[in-house]
Amino acid sequence: MRRFLKYIEGHETTYLLVWVALLVLTVLTVSVSYYNFGILNIVVAMGVATVKGTLVCLYFMHLKYDNRLNQVVFVSAFVFLAIFIGLTGSDLFLRTPVRSSAIPKVSSSSSDLIGGLTGGSHLSKNFSHTTPELVKRGQELFKVHCTACHSLGKSFKSETSQKVYEAIVRNVPGGDPHSFSDLGEKERWALVHYVESLK
């Protein structure tokens, strides 16, 4: 029973000090946010939040006085969260688009989409002509891959055929920020034909 009672003795002064510290840190994080330190803003904001969170865990939640098993269990949540963030982030931000070099560049002088795109390409000739089937497939793909962001924006409709092709089929850097590298050749062409059919 002694261990049971160990952490309940005389912590109310500590609680008050922690409370004051949390309020001071809140004032700090709000006032710092009015200044622009560039990338440092997010570092400072997350740093302050982490200090506050640690105080809450250690003292209000008595994790400092709790047994080792509970400490390990709780900290493991953050280990798994770090893995979750780390792997998702590395996939999203570090993946290089594949196959873009294997797909031919568009002749910039071409005004005709189909004529310009098929020149000398054995890869794309099967899909470069629009068919009702491809447009239908494109519509389905558009729903899955594009509507989250493009539901309102009509911006892509005003893009030239060449830009649409370059963004989707060739996945040119600096174009659409989405990676289309997980879509096959046919799927990309289907998207192009669908977007073109909207014009």
In the complex, the residues that contact other proteins under the rule CB under 8 A are 1, 3-5, 8, 11-12, 15-16, 18-19, 22-23, 26, 29-30, 33, 36, 41, 45-46, 48-49, 52-53, 56-57, 59-61, 66-67, 69-70, 73-74, 76-78, 80-81, 84-85, 88-89, 92-93, 148-153, 155, 177
Looking at the Cβ atoms of 15 and 111, the one nearer to other proteins is 15
Looking at the Cβ atoms of 117 and 167, the one nearer to other proteins is 167
Beta carbon of residue 67, minimum distance to other proteins (angstroms, whole number): 7
C-alpha distance from residue 43 to each of 51, 54, 69, 192 (Å):
12, 16, 31, 40
Beta carbon of residue 36, minimum distance to other proteins (angstroms, whole number): 7
Looking at the Cβ atoms of 47 and 184, the one nearer to other proteins is 47
Instruction: Give me the helices (H) in the chain, please.
Output: 2-6, 12-32, 40-55, 68-94, 113-118, 132-145, 147-150, 161-165, 185-198
Rg (CA), the chain: 28
Beta carbon of residue 33, minimum distance to other proteins (angstroms, whole number): 4
Beta carbon of residue 98, minimum distance to other proteins (angstroms, whole number): 19
Angle at 97 between CA 132 and CA 107, to 5 degrees: 60
Q: How far apart are CA 130 and CA 138, in angstroms?
A: 11
Dihedral angle of Cα 148, 152, 157, 158, to the nearest 10 degrees: -130
Beta carbon of residue 59, minimum distance to other proteins (angstroms, whole number): 8
